[in-house]
Structure 1
Amino acid sequence: MAVGVLDVGCFSAHLVVVERDLTHPLLSHKVRLRLDRELDSAGAVTAAGVESLCTAVRAARKKAGDVPFLPFATSSVRDSSNAQEVMRKVARRTGVDLKVLSGKEEARYSYTAARHWFGWSAGPMVVLDVGGGTVELAAGFAAEPEFALSLPLGARTLTRAGLTVEDMRAEVHDRLSAAFPRGESARAVGCSKVFEQLARLAGARSGTYAARQLRLKDLEKWIPRLAKLSVRERAALPGISRHRAQQSLAGAVVAEGLMKVSGHDVVDISPWSTKEGLLLELVERSRGRRESAA
């Protein structure tokens, strides 16, 4: 039985349908969104933003056909000041009820995804996920994390705050130090577009299956360079996509803070994150139903 997930984020709505193997999806359909441009000064999604959400959800529903899919929205919708109104409008206009995951749930699913990507031999892991609105952190030794945390320190959040690099560093360090235990003995894994793009910027190979790492010493060299560049100049750099260029500096500062506070000089990159963690859970549920029916 095929199952799917619709990941509605700030920059895209991404529908992925799988049967058993996540590395070979039956369908991967992405519609571009720019919800970062559709948040007003009060943090509410504008009417134009709601319309773009409805268009993207309708397209995903049409593509999915008869395949059941779980639609969830990340912090761009979840943390907006009119989140409930937005989800009611999307449901009324599209027939799809968007779900929202808590930050801790996102952290747990990211951990599950990273654990499956690297395998059970990877040992204890600390998983770092930098999103637009929030950062998610999880750590553990087994299938489920022993620790999960979400904080409003995402790349978009800090960019909109208009802080200097040093102010961002202080904010990130203070908030993380008060909440996150150090984990020098654990394997550090970065599982977000921010970590992927920073690793590429620092010279890592591109490609989903390429073994990639981000080193703190390289990141520390790039932060002052990014600070001096315009948004257009950042977008021309390897690994920095045009729509993420504006918040790339804040993303780099948050990633640096996560590595320092968690006590890691090197982070391994996982291409799987929350969406894949959800898919893994749905595949397991589907397998359980088939076995029960047999």
Structure 2
Amino acid sequence: MSGSGTVGVLDVGCFSARLRCVDRAGAALEPVVNHKTRLRLDRSLDATGRLRDEGVDAVVSAVRSAAEVARRNEVTDVFGLATSSIRDARNAEEIRSRVRDETGIGLRFLSGVQEAGLSYRAARAWFGSEAGPLAVLDIGGGTVELAAGRGMHAEFARSLRLGARETTRRWRLDTDRPSGHALDALRDDAVERVLAAVGDEVPRLREFRTVGCSKVLRQLAVLAGRRRKGTKSRELHVEDVREWIPRLAALPPARRAELPGISRPRARQSLAGAVVAEALLTVFGGPVVTCPWSTTQGLLLALMDEGTGEWVRSQAA
């Protein structure tokens, strides 16, 4: 394999470090290298927001493994992306410094707004221009990204600290018996924050096709079990989410992991993710059509475009 025509993204998040490499001349985003190391950084964040030593060790080990895979496959162009678990940690710069010194790969940060734009680009490429105007929702661990537009690039992008992990911690929903008052308070807070971010755009965006680009929304869609007629895509309606919130709240995390679509690592934060999803669907209308591509694919598409790729590299911190 020739490294000169191959570009890769190493996406280091809360639950995994995943290396995806694609051939610029090959089929659109068909991976020629796909390597994943599991992480559980949510278990290593202390009460102050600092990633403890065992979490940093796990990140270094995962990045080192990915770097070795890239070298074996002669891939020299690898963009290391650290998402909110590291970006928002109090010792983020210490983590980046150690990773760079011990692996040779520099982890870079994109702002939430930049990530929102990349999720939009991925959704646009997946659905195509014939899909019409898109409103893209991405519920991550630390933040929620919102983006909308009619063409290849988003005309509107926002990022809110409403991620599933963040809201689970803030509203103390990581217990076996979460408070109904806390669920109501989170729902009201999320609706208020989304409305404040979107503002007068709400009526216009409700006319757009709403797309979900996150695992939170995809797992809820699997849980709801609705498929779009004539396609493999899944839909998520606000009434689906409202039906499942009390059912998720009644189950301890270990039991939630037994449900269709919910993985064990994400089970604890699945309830908060569902409440935030309900708030988003309340504001945007719906239904949401899920998309398997998100920020990583949007970044790969940008890097494969010479002009856009240079701009993205220059904007990354």
- CA, structure 1 residues 216+287, in 2 after alignment: closer, same or farther (shift >3 Å)? closer
Structure 1 counterpart of 2:260? 238
Runs of 4+ in 1 over 4 A off after TM superposition: 286-289
Structure 2 counterpart of 1:43? 49
Whether 2:11 is the aligned partner of 1:7: answer yes
Structure 2 counterpart of 1:61? 67
Instruction: Report the 3-state secondary structure (helix = DSSP H, G, I; strand = E; otherwise coil) of the residue aligned with 1:128.
Output: strand
Instruction: Report the 3-state secondary structure (helix = DSSP H, G, I; strand = E; otherwise coil) of the residue aligned with 1:127.
Output: strand
The root-mean-square deviation of aligned C-alpha atoms, in Å, is 1.7
TM-score normalised to the size of structure 2?
Answer: 0.87
TM-score normalised to the size of structure 1?
Answer: 0.94
Structure 2 counterpart of 1:28? 34
Structure 1 counterpart of 2:301? 280
Residue deviations 1:114-133, cap 9 Å, x none? 00000001111100000000
Given that 1:173 and 1:261 are in contact with CA atoms closer than 8 Å, whether structure 2 keeps it comes out as yes
Given that 2:82 and 2:107 are in contact with CA atoms closer than 8 Å, whether structure 1 keeps it comes out as yes
Whether 2:268 is the aligned partner of 1:259: answer no
Shift of 1:152: 0.6
Once residues 184 and 169 of structure 1 are traced to their aligned partners in structure 2, the CA distance between those partners, rounded to angstroms, is 20
User: Which structure 2 segments of 5+ residues have no match?
Assistant: 174-181, 311-317
Structure 1 counterpart of 2:188? 170
Whether 2:212 is the aligned partner of 1:190: answer yes
Given that 2:249 and 2:271 are in contact with CA atoms closer than 8 Å, whether structure 1 keeps it comes out as yes
Structure 2 counterpart of 1:292? none
Once residues 11 and 202 of structure 1 are traced to their aligned partners in structure 2, the CA distance between those partners, rounded to angstroms, is 24
Paired amino acid for 1:31: T
Shift of 1:24: 2.4
Paired amino acid for 1:155: A
**Aligned pairs (5 A) from 1:141-180:** 141-161=150-170, 162=172, 164-180=182-198
Q: Which residue of the other structure, out of 238, 251, 258, is the alignment partner of 1:229?
A: 251
Once residues 24 and 288 of structure 1 are traced to their aligned partners in structure 2, the CA distance between those partners, rounded to angstroms, is 18
Residue deviations 1:26-51, cap 9 Å, x none? 01110000000010110011111110
Paired amino acid for 1:7: D
Paired amino acid for 1:217: E
User: Which structure 1 segments of 5+ residues have no match?
Assistant: 290-294
Structure 2 counterpart of 1:200? 222
Paired amino acid for 2:233: A
Structure 1 counterpart of 2:233? 211
Given that 1:22 and 1:276 are in contact with CA atoms closer than 8 Å, whether structure 2 keeps it comes out as no
Once residues 309 and 118 of structure 2 are traced to their aligned partners in structure 1, the CA distance between those partners, rounded to angstroms, is 19
Once residues 61 and 286 of structure 1 are traced to their aligned partners in structure 2, the CA distance between those partners, rounded to angstroms, is 26
Instruction: Report the 3-state secondary structure (helix = DSSP H, G, I; strand = E; otherwise coil) of the residue aligned with 2:69.
Output: helix
Identity of aligned residues (%): 52
- CA, structure 1 residues 288+267, in 2 after alignment: closer, same or farther (shift >3 Å)? closer
Aligned length: 285
